[in-house]
Amino acid sequence: MAHLDRLSALVAHVDMHATPLDTPDGGNVAIIDKLGQPKTLLLWRDLNDLPAEPFAGTLNLRLEFGGPDNPLCHALPRQIAVDLENAPSIARIAEALRDEVSAARCGSAFALERLSEVLLIGLLRNHIEKAGSATGLLAGLAHPGLARVLVAMHETPGRAWRVDDFLPIAGMSRSQFMATFQKHVGKTPMSYLKAWRMGLAHKDVARGDRISTIARRYGYRSADSFCRAFAAKYGIAPSYLREEPRASNAIEETNQNGHSKPQTHKITNSSHAG
């Protein structure tokens, strides 16, 4: 049986950002190496959860995992602790990150981005192998039958999926599949697929892709139906998200020139295709 790659299609859609900092304040990665204690990597997923005072060993580095709409942001625990003595591959990546942060060398920015991606994959592998999540995406990926379904969703989000299409992939009856998916992932298959599509679409809208193209890409019947779904999820029309940076620039320019601010409004109903 061919090896099932549970992570590549998922991680490919994560916009990892590694930001070197001047001080440990705001860093969310720490390597704790105290006498008599196991060497441990600590990582905080949410910057709002950082301790009031940086740990001794906190790197001058902030890692971000693609924004709140990426499923990985909700799949990862709020705080990750890895015993590096029992995870040598992650230990090597962590040390390489520490070396890049501490030494200003040519190509460091690029190296930090790539090392951060490799660290993320290592953490996800470690979590799946240890079945560390009771419910959520990683718990689903740890289940052999559900993993095949989730990978199919991640690889082909625009396919016109129906629940019955997932049954032979999972190797389950309909009732068994629905109950197992809900138990492990914490939502129905179609709810998860809808959230995955919308997270990808949000990125594509922000990037400037045409609304009609995005609608077709993710299986919506029309641009209008996509706009309605987008507005229901985010409270604004896709066109507003694309125009927001330009509106901000216009505000800044008018403030500098002493003119009145242009008015912008959130749109909660459907919008025309872009």
1 has pLDDT over 70: no
How would DSSP label each residue in 139-196? Answer: HHHHSHHHHHHHHHHHH-TTS---HHHHHHHHT--HHHHHHHHHHHHSS-HHHHHHHH
Higher per-residue confidence, 255 vs 140: 140
pLDDT range class, residue 240, cuts 50, 70, 90: confident
Q: What one-character DSSP code corresponds to residue 259? A: P
Global confidence as pTM: 0.79
pLDDT range class, residue 244, cuts 50, 70, 90: low
Task: Look up residue 16 and give its two tokens.
Answer: 């990892």
Higher per-residue confidence, 251 vs 201: 201
* 61 and 18 Cβ atoms separated by less than 8 Å: yes
pLDDT range class, residue 260, cuts 50, 70, 90: very low
Q: What is the pLDDT of residue 256?
A: 43
Higher per-residue confidence, 256 vs 5: 5
Q: How far, in Å, are 97, 175, 200, 232 from residue 14 at the CA level?
A: 19, 32, 10, 23
pLDDT in tens, 128-179: 887 666 788 989 999 999 999 999 999 999 999 999 999 999 999 999 999 9
Q: What is the pLDDT of residue 2?
A: 66
263 has pLDDT over 60: no
